[in-house]
Amino acid sequence: MAQLDRSAPVRGTSSLTSLKLYNFFIYGAISIFAGFLQLYLQEIGMTKLEIGSLMAIGPFVSLFANPFWGFWSDKSRNIRIVLMMMMGGTFVLAQGVFYAPSYAWIYVAMIFFYFFQSPLFAQTNSLILGYIDGTGQKFGSFRLWGSLGWALTAVAAGPVIDRFGVSSVSIIFACMIAVAFIFSVLLPRQPIASDTPIVTFRRFGKVMFNPYFMIFIGLGVLVSVPNAMNSTFMSLYIVEMGGDKQMVGWAIFTSSILEVGVFLLLDRLLKRKMSILLGSLILVSLLFALRWQLMALANNPMEVVFIQLMHSVTFGGYFYVGTQLTMLFIPRPYRSSGQAVYTMAWGGLSGVIAGLFGGWLFQSFGAEVMYNIGVFFSLIGAAGFAIMWLWNRRNGYQPTVLTEMGNMDEDK
């Protein structure tokens, strides 16, 4: 059995409280950027297609950034320091986006911004899982603080941005990132298993690119494309219907506030068994299809606000289940990399497709067609997960094992 490095500080209540508050502020910061940047870009004169193209560049960069930071988190065995580096780069480069003198400089700043920002959530998940490993604590009870930060920050920022203009987004974002950084500093170093194998590129490739995991990732991209289109263009959809920035804030609030209850329920009720988790993804994908159908039929911005309540069950459910499945697919020494690949697919590849394809659909055919395409993608994803579920029920799943890694979890 692996021995822990006893020189590491004990993970007490104070460190876990700092972890919760770090989650609150890092998610709150990104909700400001993700929810209101599109309005800023529209105000300075960009079209929907230009906005979509710009938003697609960032996720494209994340295709390389997520594996890069995930690999070095595993290799350095110090996710906290890596996260602090990423937050520092995010803070500086965000100001470059808002104060760029031309469109060309905005594109350049966004490329470098996303290199540091896009892997933040994946590495934060790995940070949580590392701190709670062996403590009896549940992932959802920490991740829900991120949902609270996302929801409460967005709804509080809406009136402020309405009052002072979209240029105030940069100030609010910078303050939230700075506070998150402070709480990350307060976290102690994590204990490390003394016999944990060294991470290498050869082992990384052998573990990550097994067919079963890659099929899971591919179906995840299909389901996440319409979700990314909604995240990118929902604020413009609301404004197009006659809503204001405060209503955008309420839409972000309703999309996240119920995640608190969803994560607590999933922690309590959902077993970490692969067949159960795959069955849950079938249900979530069907709920995604229903959500996009309702969005296509919406007639006013208030309907959009209420439909966003489904985000907590759909995105929250997929996020939780996908994170747990990735832990089952990937051996312990490579879990930061596994979460990075999972997030790369969910937020990177799908974001590129959503920005370019979604921007073209929205500008050329309108939001109704864009959301109806989302219904189709979600239904195909549900069918794919159903096939995986049947295969797993009949044949089971044996994770990739490297003999030099030693024992690893096989929660089935």
Mean pLDDT of the chain: 79
Mean pLDDT of 299-310: 88
What proportion of the chain, given as a percentage, has pLDDT over 70?
Answer: 84
Question: Which CATH fold topology does 203-395 show?
Answer: Growth Hormone; Chain: A; (1.20.1250)
* Position 242 pLDDT exceeds 80: yes
Q: For residue range 256-272, what is the model confidence (pLDDT) as tens digits?
A: 777 777 777 887 777 77
Question: Mean pLDDT lowest for which of 79-93, 105-119, 240-254?
Answer: 240-254
Give mean pLDDT, residues 25-34.
87
Q: Domain-by-domain residue ranges, the chain?
A: 17-190, 203-395
More confident residue, 405 or 183: 183
pLDDT confidence of residue 205:
62
CATH code for the structural domain at 17-190? 1.20.1250.20
> For position 203, what pLDDT does the model report?
57
Write out pLDDT tens, residues 49-78: 788 777 777 777 877 887 788 777 777 777
114 with 37: CB under 8 angstroms? no
Mean pLDDT, to the nearest integer, of 107-119?
Answer: 87
In the prediction, which pLDDT does 6 show?
Answer: 37
The strand pairing partners of 193, in sequence order, are 4
Label residue 403 by pLDDT band (50, 70, 90): very low
The tokens of 356 are what? 């370019």
pLDDT given at position 43: 82
Q: Do domains 17-190 and 203-395 have the same CATH topology?
A: yes
Alpha helices in 44-102 (DSSP H): 48-76, 79-98
**pLDDT: which is higher, 67 or 11:** 67
The per-residue pLDDT for 410 is: 40
| Radius of gyration over every alpha carbon of the chain, rounded to an integer in angstroms | 20
Quickly list DSSP for 184-221.
HHTSPPPP-BTTPPPP-HHHHHHHHT-HHHHHHHHHHH
pLDDT for 370 equals: 93
Spatial neighbors of 79 by CB under 8 A, at least 6 apart, are 73, 123, 126, 127, 130, 190, 336
HSE, side-chain direction, 13 A CA sphere, residue 324: 26
Identify the pLDDT of residue 399.
54
Instruction: Quote the CA–CA distance of 237 and 172 in Å, as a whole number.
Output: 23
| Per-range mean pLDDT, top range of 59-73, 283-297, 386-400 | 283-297
pLDDT computed for residue 44 by the predictor: 82
d(CA 385, CA 81): 36
Q: Scanning the structure block, which residue is given the tokens 């320091």?
A: 81
Q: Which class for 262: exposed (0-12), middle (13-18), buried (19 or more C-beta within 10 A)?
A: buried
Note the pLDDT of residue 335. 67
Q: Give 4's strand partners.
A: 193
| CA distances for 186 relative to 14, 180, 351, angstroms | 9, 10, 33
pLDDT of residue 208: 61
Which is more confident, 368 or 12? 368
Cα 288 from chain centre: 16
The answer, yes or no, to whether residue 288 has pLDDT greater than 90, is: yes
Least confident of 113-117, 155-159, 170-174: 155-159
Question: 290 or 150: which carries more pLDDT confidence?
Answer: 290
Considering 24-33, 62-71, 140-149, 351-360, the range whose residues carry the highest mean pLDDT is: 24-33
Mean pLDDT score, 18-46: 85
- Rounded average pLDDT over 187-197: 57
Mean pLDDT of all residues in 315-325: 83
Q: Quote the CA–CA distance of 253 and 150 in Å, as a whole number.
A: 7
CA 312, CA 144: separation in Å to the nearest integer? 11
DSSP string, 109-167: HHHHHHHHHTTHHHHHHHHHHHHHTTT---HHHHHHHHHHHHHHHHHHHHHHHHHH-GG
pLDDT band at 290 (very low <50, low <70, confident <90, very high): very high
Q: What single string gives the DSSP state of each residue in 271-327?
A: -S-HHHHHHHHHHHHHHHHHHHHHHHH--SHHHHHHHGGGHHHHHHHHHHHHHHHHH
* pLDDT value of position 2: 39
User: How large a percentage of the chain has pLDDT more than 90?
Assistant: 17
Residue 376's pLDDT band (boundaries 50, 70, 90)? very high
